[in-house]
Amino acid sequence: MSEIVLGVSGGIASYKAAELLRLFTESGHSVRVVPTDSSLKFVGAATWEALSGKPVQTGVFDNVDQVAHVRIGQSADLIVVAPATANTLAKAAHGLADDLLTNTLLTARCPVVFVPAMHTEMWEHAATQANVALLRSRGNIVVEPAFGRLTGKDTGKGRLPDPLQIHALAMQALKPHQQDLTGIRVVVSAGGTREYLDPVRFLGNRSSGKQGFALAEAAVVRGAEVTVVAANVSLPVPAGVDVVPVVSTEDLRQQMQRLAPDADAIVMAAAPADFRPESFVDAKIKKNAEGSAPDIKLVENPDILTELVTARTSKRPIIVGFAAETGDADGSVIEHATAKLARKGCDLLVVNDVSAGRAFEQADNEAVILGADGSVDHVPFGPKVALAHAVWDAVSQRLD
Q: Contact between 255 and ligand CTP (CB under 6 A)?
A: no
Instruction: Report how far residue 71's alpha carbon sits from residue 86's, in angstroms, rounded to the nearest whole number.
Output: 26
Q: How far is the CB of 239 from ligand CTP (least distance, A)?
A: 24
Q: Contact between 228 and ligand CTP (CB under 6 A)?
A: no
Cβ-contact 104, 92 below 8 angstroms: no
Kindly tell me which residue out of 56, 86, 305, 370 binds ligand CTP, with binding defined by CB under 6 A. Answer: 305
Q: Contact between 268 and ligand CTP (CB under 6 A)?
A: yes
Closest CA to 126 of 209, 232, 218, 236: 236
Cβ-contact 269, 321 below 8 angstroms: no
Instruction: Identify which range of 47-55, 69-77, 107-115, 300-308 contacts ligand CTP by CB under 6 A.
Output: 300-308
Distances (CA, A) of 195 to 188, 247, 257: 20, 8, 19
**Residue 382, H or E segment:** strand 376-383
Number of residues that bind ligand CTP (CB under 6 A): 13
Q: Contact between 259 and ligand CTP (CB under 6 A)?
A: no
Q: Contact between 160 and ligand CTP (CB under 6 A)?
A: no
Among residues 31 and 304, whose Cβ is nearest to ligand CTP? Answer: 304
Instruction: Identify which range of 11-19, 56-64, 319-327, 374-382 contacts ligand CTP by CB under 6 A.
Output: 319-327
SS3 content of the chain, % helix, strand, coil (to 5): 35, 25, 40
Among residues 200 and 329, whose Cβ is nearest to ligand CTP? Answer: 329
Q: How far is the CB of 96 from ligand CTP (least distance, A)?
A: 44
Q: Contact between 43 and ligand CTP (CB under 6 A)?
A: no
Query: C-alpha angle 242/244/248, rounded to 5°?
Result: 155
Among residues 115 and 218, whose Cβ is nearest to ligand CTP? Answer: 218
Instruction: Identify which range of 11-19, 27-35, 146-154, 296-304 contacts ligand CTP by CB under 6 A.
Output: 296-304
Q: Contact between 250 and ligand CTP (CB under 6 A)?
A: no
Instruction: Report how far residue 33's alpha carbon sits from residue 17's, in angstroms, rounded to the nearest whole number.
Output: 10
Instruction: Identify which range of 80-88, 269-277, 281-289, 380-388 contacts ligand CTP by CB under 6 A.
Output: 269-277
Which of helix, strand or coil describes residue 265?
strand
Q: Contact between 348 and ligand CTP (CB under 6 A)?
A: no
Q: Contact between 211 and ligand CTP (CB under 6 A)?
A: no
Distances (CA, A) of 368 to 143, 198, 226, 269: 23, 38, 24, 14
Instruction: Report how far residue 311's alpha carbon sits from residue 345's, in angstroms, rounded to the nearest whole number.
Output: 11
Marked catalytic residue, from 140, 205, 301, 365:
205
Distances (CA, A) of 215 to 58, 158, 177, 220, 296: 36, 22, 14, 9, 36
Instruction: Identify which range of 115-123, 147-155, 206-214, 320-328 contacts ligand CTP by CB under 6 A.
Output: 320-328
Q: Contact between 52 and ligand CTP (CB under 6 A)?
A: no
CA dihedral angle for residue 17, residue 18, residue 24, residue 26, rounded to 10 degrees: -160
Written as one letter, the residue type at 64 is V
Query: Is 301 labeled as catalytic in the residue annotation?
Result: no
Among residues 234 and 310, whose Cβ is nearest to ligand CTP? Answer: 310
Q: What does the binding site for ligand CTP look like in residue numbers (CB under 6 A)?
A: 249, 268, 270, 272, 274, 301, 303-305, 321-324
